[in-house]
Amino acid sequence: MTAIWEPEARYRIWFEIEAHAAVKMGEMGTVPESAGKALWDWWATAPKIDVAAIDAIEAVTKHDVIAFLDWVAQQVGPEARFMHQGMTSSDVLDTTLNVQLVKAADILLEDLDALLAAIKRRAEEHKYTPTIGRSHGIHAEPVTFGLKMAEAYAEFSRCKTRLLAAREEVATCAISGAVGTFANVDPAVEDYVADKLGLAVEPVSTQVIPRDRHAMFFAVLGVIASSIERLAIEVRHLQRTEVLEAEEYFSPGQKGSSAMPHKRNPVLTENLTGLARVVRSAVVPAMENVALWHERDISHSSVERFIGPDATITLDFALARLTGVIDKLLVYPERMQKNLDRMGGLVHSQRVLLALTQAGLTRDQSYRLVQRNAMKVWESDGQLSLLELLKADEEVTAALPVEVIEEKFNLDYHFKQVDTIFARVFGN
Amino acid sequence: MTAIWEPEARYRIWFEIEAHAAVKMGEMGTVPESAGKALWDWWATAPKIDVAAIDAIEAVTKHDVIAFLDWVAQQVGPEARFMHQGMTSSDVLDTTLNVQLVKAADILLEDLDALLAAIKRRAEEHKYTPTIGRSHGIHAEPVTFGLKMAEAYAEFSRCKTRLLAAREEVATCAISGAVGTFANVDPAVEDYVADKLGLAVEPVSTQVIPRDRHAMFFAVLGVIASSIERLAIEVRHLQRTEVLEAEEYFSPGQKGSSAMPHKRNPVLTENLTGLARVVRSAVVPAMENVALWHERDISHSSVERFIGPDATITLDFALARLTGVIDKLLVYPERMQKNLDRMGGLVHSQRVLLALTQAGLTRDQSYRLVQRNAMKVWESDGQLSLLELLKADEEVTAALPVEVIEEKFNLDYHFKQVDTIFARVFGN
Amino acid sequence: MTAIWEPEARYRIWFEIEAHAAVKMGEMGTVPESAGKALWDWWATAPKIDVAAIDAIEAVTKHDVIAFLDWVAQQVGPEARFMHQGMTSSDVLDTTLNVQLVKAADILLEDLDALLAAIKRRAEEHKYTPTIGRSHGIHAEPVTFGLKMAEAYAEFSRCKTRLLAAREEVATCAISGAVGTFANVDPAVEDYVADKLGLAVEPVSTQVIPRDRHAMFFAVLGVIASSIERLAIEVRHLQRTEVLEAEEYFSPGQKGSSAMPHKRNPVLTENLTGLARVVRSAVVPAMENVALWHERDISHSSVERFIGPDATITLDFALARLTGVIDKLLVYPERMQKNLDRMGGLVHSQRVLLALTQAGLTRDQSYRLVQRNAMKVWESDGQLSLLELLKADEEVTAALPVEVIEEKFNLDYHFKQVDTIFARVFGN
Amino acid sequence: MTAIWEPEARYRIWFEIEAHAAVKMGEMGTVPESAGKALWDWWATAPKIDVAAIDAIEAVTKHDVIAFLDWVAQQVGPEARFMHQGMTSSDVLDTTLNVQLVKAADILLEDLDALLAAIKRRAEEHKYTPTIGRSHGIHAEPVTFGLKMAEAYAEFSRCKTRLLAAREEVATCAISGAVGTFANVDPAVEDYVADKLGLAVEPVSTQVIPRDRHAMFFAVLGVIASSIERLAIEVRHLQRTEVLEAEEYFSPGQKGSSAMPHKRNPVLTENLTGLARVVRSAVVPAMENVALWHERDISHSSVERFIGPDATITLDFALARLTGVIDKLLVYPERMQKNLDRMGGLVHSQRVLLALTQAGLTRDQSYRLVQRNAMKVWESDGQLSLLELLKADEEVTAALPVEVIEEKFNLDYHFKQVDTIFARVFGN
């Protein structure tokens, strides 16, 4: 990902745009056909791009594209003077940025595929591994660890769909001249270059490609980062000393802390939490970039020099790191079961409540019956058993036979739709 | 738009979800068929929702959904106790929020259609109205006012596409119980309610509908707001005293300022600039809402109570206001022409530059020839004419015949592709 | 807090500014002295502000200050025509906004005092209540619950200092006319009004009071909100089922969940987490408001109509809610001790490590000795005791006498500087 | 500024903290006095920091501070094992970050001083250069260019005050051990190191220095960036083709555009507009960093690795660039006068309005008399003269003698308080 944003990579895209345009202009008779040929012949020699030399010219001209054109002209010779005919710098710069963002999106899409594959594998592995579901950080009802993974899979699948749309948003090419009127360059040139680069033509540009496209692109990166944060925080919670249902992989050579040798800290997912903030921070500046003055101002450019590489490289790194975390996550089913059991069966209270209602009690009566026993269990810190208390509560047994009460504490009851959910998420 | 977010509207959606669910549970034998019937029979009487009464119950129970269910039970009678069987509050709350956002999106889509229609009308009206194109706030080359409108049309068309996708993101329904396992409610109930409400089922929910969907929704609103800002700032620039190429409509009774009676201020578009900031401010909180703890925490809720109404109502207002501004915008073609002419023909320098290059001069030679004459015009503040200076420059006339130079100052030359661009943007 | 932002409150401040200015202009002979007298005489009758009537005038004039002046003129009679001489609307509007923000700051300062008092009380109560300190969510070394409170106290004390500075930032008054030149109003009027309102004069205004002041104000609110979030998240963590060292107060009548009667959810602090996002969302728009065009544009106004009330009312509510949470927080020292003990003494490993180093082993040797015993404890899930293992490890006992090892497991050792820290935070 | 953030600079600060701490521990007898001596003796040899070697160790230990300590131990020998006794990594890391931020603040304070000096010089130079004041982009009343500069001076003076406070916020030192209890390190060590580094002690730390301090620091940078944006946008407006009252300095060798040789674009200030967005983007992540879990998590760290260098380096660059722009700004007083005159005297309408009111007409009558003449001037695009029209309006002359009307068009009238304002802003 870093390579996309190196000066050399940028200059290579610049060259391709100029050379493709020269070929088409040659075909159309705007410039000699020899111009495009000379450019591509030189290119075929796999020339090194001398970034320092171009920088030196720019230091004088204070204009990056002119500096580049001058340098190419020095290499290729007089035919190069036909480059850039009727074009404006932004034709090159903006199309290049979009090529870079498309390449970045392609890498991020691969990252997402790798992450989805890792999540899917762990989902299937733990499809029926029981664990407590928590709302508000409080034990609620049983779920499976596979279901947690299935949710993540569905979420990152949505991220992929959004990224495909975001990629399409920025996959455009503009070769339309100083104010977008094609006054000195035929739209056929734009068509040709767009086609060669695998882009669509920008329907109407105004020297620049409109920045709402890029705002949307970075907004999608921000949403993906937020989903990364969600899964990272899940791992951080599971690794807490008191919970310890899962842990980031701990390599033998690794020291967790300079002072406390027993500690295994979820530093990768804490790091991801921070990186999510970093990627998200690109969103508002990208939106502030939309409202350029008239046909263009250049305020967007300094912003993009930061957020272009930073947001894509960080997200690439974060997705790869998260994939590693999930892939190698140490999962502890015994501890999950232990945590499930620690509340003395309170997690089954909802089922008892329903059974009482269905047995004819009002909602309120049922609620009070369950609540008075549940509170005893709660206050015993899980030492008392809800099942035993209910079986000893005459008002309860008056409404429900003991065997019915017992059935309500069956864990498998909660997992009967896991297969349905998996089919929705992973297909058949 | 405001009506969507009133308590009464929310309660009406709540009722529909519960009643649809009760019907399906009746069909499936989970509850008596009479329950759903009783609910809909009562609903058919068009009952008033007594918001104050529900609030009074909530003051005691401190739980909004229970309060509502209690109130409905008071109205409908004993059959109502079968409502909400196996469901959890979030099944109702989250599905309701999505219904509200879908309704909001539908209004915003209508707003966008109205805006697009207004822009299109002005685009066609001024398809060939010449005006100066500006980059960096500096005169560049001629465009038409219609092209400015065409760009806005293309941009808001993209906004519409994005909003349709965002609407689809949040058009889901979850009736999956306390932790999303359907332990006590069959997925068929979710299917049925989703179908009745015109929603898709949420493939995997975890008490709550995942908030990446909502983050994406509000991000799209933020991008639309940024495009509003762009067009608003264009109008503000055009209305500047020194430019004055267009003005917001000025109604006869309106006083522009308490102290300066001659002033006509672009207050509507300035207001829109501020409103864009307001809508955008919903984006980051919506992204921060994604990383809920485990199966859910309720931190998203207070955020959504603000940004749900604020962002949608503000955007609705802003789109309508912008539509009015564009629709009634006072456009001054004479002033546009006057501004075009004020630079002594400098805007045609690019064409002369190209002609010199094509006549065989190097890029650098051409540049210097044009530049030395252009600088004289510049320093005369447009009193000297570039055309006359060039015709008097022997090095120039040595390369280009006078009639060729004159042809380079023809305005229509710039507009030959306007039709192509319009065809791209508006079709046919 | 809400009252500050009501239309009537705003009009009352408007009146006072206009009336004070009229008095001073009367003194200076700019207007008849009777004008100010007439205004204050009317005011002394405690007149009702007829918001609807003013709105009706504004609907025609489309200018809020003119509408208000017209209405006052209707009430007071011909003397009122001398109001607002040489002033501009923003003189009134901007000074009013600052008065409102100062009043809001005063309420927030009281809120902070109440919060600080609650925190201090709990800090003293639990000055020596042992609890485990956690880094990365993992047990580290012992702290006391009082120390957690002391940190919060220090943090909110800083918030108070910042808010005092922010209050001073916005405590300015501008009565400087249409572009801030005092062309038609003497600076003495500004001096007089500022003094009457307890404000400083704005050294140089440009029709508007510069918005960097307000940006700073809202930035401070955002930082305070973030500190609220920190303490709220601490409580949420402590209330987790597996931790349960503290709980939000649970009133007898409250139902935690419609389905799970045993649940006590930390909904207040979850709510605070969301509200922190809301307050923070005002920061960037407030900063975007700074760059007004030339001497002013009105884009800031629509932003301030949202963030002015929203950020201050929300923060006021949040501070009060947090004060309630801390004040009534159920703290469970037994559970804290139980959690402290659950790791088999691993939390003391750092002290043993140091002792070994001081006994002459290298850092690396010491680390390995501790680590090999600590890992056994870790893998036993706290069933084995680190102390016992160390005492049985001959390499350890070769370096350290048993009684020295035992001393390293003394909890009080960690609390010997608690008093020092308390003295730093709370004074003496 | 970049140097502050280089790895070597960071390691140098690490060393100083460790060595100062070792000295104090030696004094107190915690470690041999020879330890500190050995460290400083080695330091006195001005050793090169071998960043690559430290990195290589970190690749194995996966812990940056341990890697550094190991490397120093290799250099210094056995005495080095007494380094870091009872300390935790964060004692070093957090204190180092604060040292870096303090150094950064010092550079930024110098930047602000340079900017203030440049602004002041231009303010004095143009104290009485008349120019039109604009509200809403529309001509309002005359100001002077010096007043514009005075406003900027006052604004950046406030920025300096804020930055001094922000510097103080982060000028703290924590050497308090694994959870901030000073269990294994005496507070006297912290006192000593803080004093040596010119910092205050952190009253209560929790392994980490609380991040509300840093949030405040970056918030202040965001406000400064917003003030930069304001002045940058002022220059961009002034350089617009139609306004052209000032221009960024244009060096002879500079080409403004590859295609339009006559263009002089305000690219520096456009660039600054973008950089302001970049600096501002650090604010929200810095606030999100506040709510660390319990005594610390490490999510803040990845954020700070970005925003620490990016925000400070960018702001340093931006302040220096803005200083250059202001220092060399080409100011065109003739053009300012020309623009002032172009509205046919409408800018004086407010004074006439006041005179009519003072002559006994009602506000409304006066308003209508001025407005009917002003509108004629407006519609003539400044070809008609308001003064002449008023003198020909019998209703006006019935109220005001001609010589009084003429006096109202005197430009100097507006500048009589310039000196007062300058005294407020610049003193004496």
Residue B296 β-bridge partners: A135
Mean pLDDT of the region C323-328: 98
Predicted pLDDT at C390: 95
Residue (of A280, C304, C152) closest to D287 by Cα position: A280
Q: pLDDT tens across A294-326, in order?
A: 999 999 999 999 999 999 999 999 999 999 999
CB-CB neighbors (< 8 A) of B297 in chain C:
236, 270, 273
* Pairwise CB contact (< 8 Å): A343 & C262: yes
The position carrying tokens 């975007």 is C288
Q: Could you give the CA distance from residue B174 to residue A173 in angstroms, rounded to a whole number?
A: 42
Give the C-alpha separation, A153 to A135, whole Å.
Answer: 20
Q: Can A84 be counted among the known catalytic residues?
A: no
Query: Cβ of B343 and D262 within 8 Å?
Result: yes
Among A353, A390, A308, which residue's Cα sits nearest to residue A103?
A308
Amino acid at residue number B167: R
- For residue B14, what pLDDT band results from cuts at 50, 70 and 90? very high
pLDDT of residue A258: 40
The C-alpha angle with vertex B387 and arms to B382 and B391, in degrees rounded to 5, equals 135
Q: Which residues of A touch B169 (CB under 8 A)?
A: 158
Mean pLDDT over residues C388-396, rounded? Answer: 95
Low-confidence stretches of chain A (pLDDT < 70) are: 251-262, 428
Contact criterion met (CB < 8 Å) for C259 and B178: yes
pLDDT digit string (tens) for C334-377? 999 999 998 889 888 888 988 998 899 998 899 889 988 988 88
Above 60 in pLDDT, residue D78?
yes
Q: Three-state SS string across chain B, please?
A: CHHHHCHHHHHHHHHHHHHHHHHHHHHHCCCCHHHHHHHHHHHHCCCCCCHHHHHHHHHHHCCHHHHHHHHHHHHHCHHHHHCCCCCCHHHHHHHHHHHHHHHHHHHHHHHHHHHHHHHHHHHHHCCCCEEEEEECCEEEEEEEHHHHHHHHHHHHHHHHHHHHHHHHHHCEECCCCCCCCCCCCCHHHHHHHHHHHCCEECCCCECECCCHHHHHHHHHHHHHHHHHHHHHHHHHHHHCCCCCCEECCCCCCCCCCCCCCCCCCCHHHHHHHHHHHHHHCCHHHHHHCCCCCCCECCHHHHHHHHHHHHHHHHHHHHHHHHHHHHHHCEECHHHHHHHHHCCCCHHHHHHHHHHHHHCCCCHHHHHHHHHHHHHHHHHCCCCCCHHHHHHCCHHHHHHCCHHHHHHCCCHHHHHCCHHHHHHHHHCC
* Closest to C135 (Cα-Cα) out of D300, A181, A76: D300
Q: List alpha helices for A289-416, DSSP H.
A: 299-328, 333-341, 349-358, 363-379, 386-391, 394-399, 402-407
Q: Give the CA dihedral D163, D165, D168, D169, nearest 10 degrees.
A: -100
Quote the pLDDT of residue B62.
Answer: 78
> Which tokens sit at C52?
């609807």
Contact with chain C for residue D301, Cβ under 8 A: no
Say what percent of chain B tops pLDDT 90: 83
Q: Are B297 and C270 in contact (CB under 8 A)?
A: yes
Distance CA B119, CA B274 (A): 21
Contact across the interface for A284 and D284, Cβ inside 8 Å: yes
Determine the residue among C204, C289, C346, C422 to mutate to test chain D binding: the one whose Cβ has the most chain D Cβ atoms within 10 Å. Answer: C204
Q: How far apart are CA D306 and CA A134, in angstroms?
A: 34
Active-site annotation holder among A84, A90, A126, A136: A136
Helices D418-426 & D145-170 angle (0-180, nearest 10): 20
Q: Do B136 and D270 touch (CB under 8 A)?
A: yes
Alpha-carbon distance C258 to nearest alpha carbon in chain A (angstroms):
9
Task: State the average pLDDT for chain D.
Answer: 94
Which residues in chain B touch residue D273, judged by CB atoms under 8 angstroms apart? none
B407 CA: distance to closest CA in chain D (Å): 18
Q: Which residues contact C55 (CB under 8 A, 6 or more apart)?
A: C67
Banded pLDDT at B258 (limits 50, 70, 90): very low
Pull the structure tokens for residue D54.
């430290």
Contact map slice: C 177-236 vs B, CB within 8 A: 177-178, 236
**Active site positions of B, annotated:** 136, 257
Q: Does D310 sit within 8 Å of A278, measured CB to CB?
A: no
Confidence of residue C259 (pLDDT cuts 50, 70, 90): very low
User: What pTM value is reported for the model?
Assistant: 0.96
What token pair was written down for D383?
């070809």
Of chain C, the percentage scoring pLDDT greater than 70 comes to 97
Size (chain C), residues: 428
Contact B157, D259 (CB under 8 A): no
- The Cα A378–Cα A364 span in angstroms is 20
Q: Measure the CA–CA gap between C357 and C344, rounded to whole angstroms.
A: 22
Number of H helices, E strands in chain D: 18, 6
Contacts of A110 (CB under 8 A, 6+ apart): none
Distance between CA atoms of residues A53 and C132, nearest Å: 61
Q: Amino acid letter at C126? A: H
Write out pLDDT tens, residues D155-207.
Answer: 999 999 999 999 999 999 999 998 999 998 999 999 999 999 999 999 999 99
Which among C210, C363, C418 has the least Cβ separation from residue D81?
C363
Q: CB distance C262–A288 less than 8 Å? A: no
| Chain A nearest CA to B414, separation (Å) | 5
CB C373 within 8 A of CB C396: yes
Q: Is D424 exposed, middle or buried (0-12, 13-18, 19+ CB in 10 A)?
A: middle
Average confidence (pLDDT) over C22-30: 95
Confidence of residue D428 (pLDDT cuts 50, 70, 90): low
- Closest partner residue to C262 among A242, A261, A377, by Cβ? A377
Helix ranges (DSSP H) in D248-393: 267-280, 283-288, 299-328, 333-341, 349-358, 363-379, 386-391
pLDDT digits (tens, 9 = 90+) for A35-87: 999 999 999 999 999 999 999 999 988 788 989 999 999 999 988 888 998 89
State residue B296 phi and psi, 5-degree precision.
170, 150
Alpha-carbon distance C381 to nearest alpha carbon in chain B (angstroms): 23
Confidence at residue D254, expressed as pLDDT on a 0 to 100 scale: 56
Annotated catalytic residue, options A63, A257, A302, A380: A257
Tell me whether B363 touches chain A (CB under 8 Å).
Answer: yes
Q: Which residue of B has its CA nearest to A214?
A: B223
Whether A257 is catalytic: yes
Q: What is the pLDDT of residue B253?
A: 57
Distance from CA of C191 to the nearest CA of B (A): 22
Per-residue model confidence as pLDDT tens digits over D84-107: 988 999 999 999 999 999 999 999
Q: What is the pLDDT of residues B361-383, one digit of tens each?
A: 998 899 889 988 988 887 887 88
Cα–Cα distance, B65 to B55 (Å, whole number): 11
Closest CA to D24 of D209, D204, D197: D197
Token duo for residue C403: 């009684």
Contacts of D392 (CB under 8 A, 6+ apart): none
Rounded distance, CA D240 to CA A148, Å? 57
Long-range CB pairs of D393-398, under 8 A, 24+ apart, other chains included: D393/D369, D395/D369, D396/D352, D396/D356, D396/D369
Q: What is the ipTM of this complex?
A: 0.94
State the distance between the two ends of chain A, measured CA to CA, in whole angstroms.
Answer: 35
Query: Pick from C66, C293, C302: which is nearest to B271 by CB?
Result: C302
C255: confidence class by pLDDT, cuts 50, 70, 90 = low
- Asked if A172 contacts A211 with a C-beta cutoff of 8 angstroms, the reply is no
Contact criterion met (CB below 8 Å) for B183 and A414: yes
What integer is the mean pLDDT of D414-426? 97
- C202 contacts C173 by C-beta, under 8 angstroms: yes
CB B228 within 8 A of CB B318: yes
Contact residues, C window 253-292, toward D, CB-based 8 Å cutoff: 273, 276, 280, 283-284, 287-288, 290-292
Coil, helix or strand for A349?
Answer: helix
Token digits for B143? Answer: 């465009």
Instruction: Compute the CA torsion angle C404, C407, C409, C415 (nearest 10 deg).
Output: -140
Chain D residues whose beta carbon lies within 8 Å of the beta carbon of residue A270: 297-299
pLDDT at D258: 39
Give the type of residue at D58.
E
All partners of chain A with 3 or more CB pairs under 8 angstroms: B, C, D
Cβ-contact A328, A254 below 8 angstroms: no
CB contact under 8 A, B294 and A414: no
The residue length of chain D stands at: 428
Report CA-CA distances (Å) from B88 to B184, B291, D130.
10, 21, 70
Contacts of C220 in chain D (CB under 8 A): 216, 219
Q: What mean pLDDT, rounded, does chain B reach?
A: 94
Distance from CA of D290 to the nearest CA of B (A): 14
Q: Could you tell me the domains of chain D?
A: 2-85 (1.10.275.10), 90-339 (1.20.200.10), 346-408 (1.10.40.30)
- Minimum-distance CB partner of C294 among D220, D223, D237: D237
Calculate the alpha carbon distances from A214 to A156, A226, B139, C173 in Å. Answer: 21, 18, 26, 42
Q: Taking 90 as the threshold, does the pLDDT of residue D394 lie above it?
A: yes
Which residue in D157, D185, D231, D295 has the most chain C C-beta atoms within 10 A of its own C-beta, making it the best mutation to test that interface?
D295
CB contact under 8 A, A414 and B181: yes
From the candidates C63, C257, C302, C380, which is the catalytic residue? C257
Residue C257: pLDDT above 60?
no
Distance from C-alpha of A418 to C-alpha of A422, rounded to nearest angstrom: 6
Per-residue confidence band for C209, with pLDDT thresholds at 50, 70 and 90: very high
C-beta atoms of D353 and B259 within 8 A: yes
Yes or no, beta carbons of D151 and C206 under 8 Å apart: yes
Whether A343 and C241 lie within 8 Å, measured CB to CB: yes
- What is the average pLDDT score of chain A? 94
For the stretch D347-367, pLDDT in tens is 888 889 889 988 999 988 998
Phi, psi of A334 (to 5 degrees): -65, -40
| Residue numbers in B near D137 (CB within 8 A) | 236-237, 239-241, 265-266
